[in-house]
Amino acid sequence: MDKKNIPEKIKVKRVPQRGVYDKKTIYKILDKEFLCHVAFIHNGFPVVIPTLYGRYENNLYLHGSAASRMMKSLKEGIDVSISVTRVNGLVLARSGFHHSANYESVVIFGKAIFIEDKEEKIKALKYVSDHIIPERWEEVRGPSDKELKGTMLLKILINEASAKIRTGGPKDEKDDYNLDVWAGVVPFSKEIKNPIPDELLRDGIPIPPSVEKYIKNKN
């Protein structure tokens, strides 16, 4: 995409060469994570709240209690900004100034759409569940009418969105390459530890396929 045509609102301003606008890259980052930070205006003040999400096609789905302040505010179709960020490592340079982090982040602007229809609500819940841990939905008891009534589902179109990515080693000042200072990257990854069965788990229930696959795929 020609970066000249990117709308001002979503354009990456700082270090613009790190800005990425294609949907494939945006979806890829969104699919690696399940925690987002949602910003909205409440009583004139900015508020940011962490919450889980699921992506399906070009929509980001949020779920929460129907009594939640954030969900009730967002339901009204106010403007929101949502960020998803993954830090992949610390970048250690020869000067303090050039220290950085390797990361992948997405920022989305939009308005939430309230999902009222029961069937669509159940689908949206499944999208969130499948996003966080695939196949788990099929293993558990589905939602009762009472639970559905107590849960609010919202979707945000992933239309006004941009990604920002930094990879690779440090970039130092020319003269600093002569210094006796170690420079490089300290990479991170998410380690998934052994599942801890519920204390009240009935005897003879093995770790289910969803969890087995989750551990296998994410490690």
Q: How far apart are CA 167 and CA 18, in angstroms?
A: 9
Site string for its own copies, 112-131 (x = CB under 8 A): -------------x---x--
Among 1, 17, 57, 141, binds its own copies (CB under 8 A): 141
Choose which of 5, 24, 198, 216 interacts with its own copies (CB under 8 A): 198
Q: Residue for token digits 């420079």?
A: 183
The reply on whether position 162 binds its own copies by CB under 8 A is no
Among 97, 116, 118, 159, binds its own copies (CB under 8 A): 97
Nearer to its own copies by Cβ, of 3 and 207: the residue is 207
Burial class (CB in 10 A: 0-12, 13-18, 19+), 92: middle
DSSP string, 147-183: HHHHEEEEEEETTEEEEEEE-SS----GGGGGSS---
Question: Which member of 7, 31, 114, 192 binds its own copies (CB under 8 A)?
Answer: 192
Tell me, by CB under 8 A, how many residues bind its own copies: 92
Determine the Cα–Cα distance for residues 93 and 170; give it in Å rounded to an integer.
5
Is residue 31 involved in binding its own copies (CB under 8 A)?
no
> Is the CB of 140 or the CB of 159 nearer to its own copies?
140
- Cβ–Cβ under 8 Å, residues 125 and 63: yes
Among 2, 17, 119, 190, binds its own copies (CB under 8 A): 190
CA distance 38 to 179: 43
User: Do 16 and 41 form a contact (C-beta atoms < 8 A)?
Assistant: no
Among residues 18, 113, 157, 176, which is the contact residue for its own copies, using CB under 8 A?
176
| Residue numbers 35-74 binding its own copies by CB under 8 A | 35, 37-41, 45-50, 52, 64-65, 67-69
